[in-house]
Amino acid sequence: MGVFGNADPNGPMIYKGIYHLFYQYNPKGAVWGNIVWAHSTSTDLVNWTPHIPAIYPSQPSDINGCWSGSTTILPTGEPVILYTGINQQSQQVQNLAVPKNLSDPYLREWSKSPKNPLMAPTVSNQINASSFRDPTTAWLGPDRRWRVIVGSKRDRQGLAILYRSKDFVHWIKAQQPLHSAKDTGMWECPDFFPVPINAKFGVDTSVAGRHVKHVLKVSLDDTKHEYYTVGTYKLDKDIYIPDKGQVDSDSGLRYDYGKFYASKTFFDSSKKRRILWGWINESSSVDDDIKKGWSGVQAIPRTVWLDESGKQLVQWPVTEIERLRENQVHLTKQVLKGGSALEVSGVTSAQADVEISFGISDQLEKAEKLDPSWSNPQALCSEKGASVKGRLGPFGLLVLGSKGLQEQTAVFFRIFKGRDKYVVLMCSDQSRSSLNPDNDKTTYGAFLDVDPAREKLSLRSLIDHSIVESFGGEGKACITARVYPTLAIHDEAHLHVFNNGTQSVQITKFSAWSMKKALIS
């Protein structure tokens, strides 16, 4: 979406049937700096038209940069933006912008409030002026007051600072944060929203009560990982409490266990769903980014909802992306013996959508035992990559493979026998993804909450030249990889189904589609 450096998705929304995405953008170079709010619109979340930047430095309160923020749709239907500005003293402050002309369906021009900044660090409020950013979409409480949270930290404690307002202009800091967690560092790009229990539809950000759970997501500046918890929003005290068993730290649940950061959701009122946007940063070196003239892309938008268990979210690419599918290729049900690979032909492997399901229930007693010390899935995937033979696994897809497979990105499963259940490990192995030695080739991993004795084991991968977005267990775990193959490009990219375990597995379902190009003018 646009050339040069782009980053955090900002203020996604739908207004009069048109989707808007704003994002952090450097109009002057391929890497971070000179930050403005770029702006693109779409009617289908797939094809996008860019407009002039919506917000750029022009006031004392944002003269050194217009950083991340969110949109809120007021009860009148009018959208407003809250965003972080860097002021003349290089402090982080929160500002308001409103559309100049509501009859313009593209909302191309925005006016900033003369009252900016609306929230600022002072001696009395003890806010850290260099760690106070990224206001969320606001929500209305039963007292008809608006609430918003802003990410911050005090020492090593991550904070979601809460503000309240009657008119969206005059904001008063609450005495206590909505939530905080020790030793997590700066909370960037917080997101706080309700999800219905036992339903896949989404609800407006202001919805609260017993029929919903709440989700708090934070992006950790220290590790460049995001994590979220599912819990309860206590309206009477204006605090959020994660449910028992939720891990409130970097080792907790993530939307995505690969390259995916600064994410933001919005409520799509036209289709009653909550949509997640995330930024995929680079695996290439800064020198390579400057050479190619751009860096950073937005992930495919995903619909998110609460899993039946109530303990985690499920994500799936928006259905609109399927309009780009063409030339479907099927494989019949078949057994994939240990140590074998099957090439899939008839699909443009550099730009494809692949769905596969495996049957393994009759082989489960042969799974290797899970060592109790194997608690870090990423470390386990690094140790047991695609080339390391196991019993039940590794099996899955080899994507963006060169002719002799010197280059390949492997997305696969391994199954282990835990103490009282089978444990499914999902990996994305980038160790052989590119012959370019300057690329980051980290291998990613996640434990997948699927019982292979009772459920099919499914994988969907969206492949787009240098990006592989993979969804395991129908969206229970997602891993985005950023790869830059040097050989497996365009028509030289190959796609395989592989099984490098000793036990055979069954391919129960397989479909792949070539993907047309989206229009991003």
What are the pLDDT digits (tens) for 172-198?
999 999 999 999 999 999 999 999 999
Whether residues 214 and 274 share a domain: the answer is yes
Q: Note whether residue 521 is domain-resident.
A: no
Residues in CB range of 189: below 8 A, 6 or more apart = 8, 68, 134, 151, 217, 218, 219, 226, 261, 262, 263, 264
Asked if residue 349 and residue 494 are part of one domain, the reply reads yes
Burial of 236 (0-12, 13-18, 19+ CB in 10 A): exposed
Q: Do residues 311 and 328 both lie within one domain?
A: no
Candidates 8, 134, 248, 429; catalytic one:
8
pLDDT at position 31 over 60: no
**pLDDT grade for 121, boundaries at 50, 70 and 90:** very high
Instruction: Please say if the pLDDT value at position 405 is more than 70.
Output: yes
Q: Are residues 337 and 198 part of one domain?
A: no
Is 8 tagged catalytic?
Answer: yes
Domain assignment present for 76: yes
pLDDT at 33: 62
- Give yes or no: residues 274 and 329 share one domain: no
Q: Indicate the residue among 273, 291, 317 that finishes a domain.
A: 317
Are the C-beta atoms of residues 82 and 68 closer than 8 Å to each other?
no
Minimum mean pLDDT among 261-270, 283-292, 371-380, 479-488: which range? 283-292
Whether 100 is in a domain gets the answer yes
- Among residues 468, 422, 423, the alpha carbon closest in space to that of 444 is found at 468
What long-range pairs does 222-226 form, CB within 8 A, spacing at least 24?
222/184, 222/185, 222/186, 222/250, 223/185, 223/250, 224/261, 224/281, 225/250, 225/254, 225/261, 226/189, 226/254, 226/255, 226/256, 226/260, 226/261, 226/262, 226/263
Domain CATH number, residue 186: 2.115.10.20
* Total domains, the chain: 2
Look up the CATH number of the domain holding residue 410: 2.60.120.560
Max intra-chain CA distance, the chain: 69
Residues 461 and 498 in one domain: yes
User: Does the pLDDT of residue 438 top 90, yes or no?
Assistant: no
Q: Does residue 457 lie in a domain region?
A: yes
Pair (473, 344) in one structural domain? yes
521: pLDDT confidence band, cut at 50, 70 and 90?
low
Residue 419 lies in a domain: yes
68 within some domain: yes
Query: Which pair of structure tokens corresponds to residue 443?
Result: 């291998």
User: Are the C-beta atoms of residues 459 and 471 closer than 8 Å to each other?
Assistant: yes
273, pLDDT greater than 70: yes
Instruction: Read off the pLDDT of residues 32-68 as tens digits, 9 standing for 90 and up.
Output: 567 899 999 999 999 999 999 999 999 999 999 999 9
Residue 520 within any structural domain of the chain: no
Q: What is the pLDDT of residue 288?
A: 65
> Average pLDDT of the chain?
93
Question: Does 1 score more than 50 pLDDT?
Answer: no
pLDDT band at 2 (very low <50, low <70, confident <90, very high): very low
Do 293 and 400 lie in a common domain? no
What pLDDT does residue 34 have? 72
Domain boundary among 317, 335, 362: 317
The percentage of residues in the chain with a pLDDT greater than 90, rounded to a whole number, is 88
Domain match, 86 and 138 both: yes
Report the pLDDT value the prediction gives residue 4, as an integer from 0 to 100.
40
Parent domain of 242 = 4-317
Q: What pLDDT, in 10s, does the model give residues 350-361?
A: 999 999 999 997
> Residue 520 pLDDT more than 80?
no
Q: What is the mean pLDDT of residues 107-115?
A: 98
For 83-106, how does the pLDDT look when each residue is reduced to its tens digit (9 = 90+)?
Answer: 999 999 999 999 999 999 999 999
251 and 364 fall within a common domain: no
Mean pLDDT, residues 403-421: 95
C-alpha distances in Å from residue 72, one per residue of 13, 40, 206, 261: 8, 17, 10, 21
Residue 323 CA to residue 321 CA, distance in Å, equals: 5
User: How large is the average pLDDT for residues 205-231?
Assistant: 97
Q: For the residues of 396-446, what is the DSSP string, one character each?
A: EEEEEE-TTSSS-EEEEEEEEE-SSSEEEEEEEE-TTS-S-TTS----EEE
C-beta neighbour count of 209 within 10 angstroms: 10
Sign of the CA dihedral running 318, 440, 438, 399: negative
**Mean pLDDT confidence for 455-482:** 96
129 pLDDT higher than 50: yes
Task: Check whether residue 262 and residue 338 sit in a common domain.
Answer: no
CA 506 to mean position of chain CA atoms: 31
**Residue 143 within any structural domain of the chain:** yes
CB–CB of 9/264 below 8 Å? yes
Whether 224 and 368 share a structural domain: no
Last residue of a domain, one of 290, 317, 344: 317
Which pairing describes strands 325-330 and 505-515: parallel, antiparallel, or unpaired? antiparallel
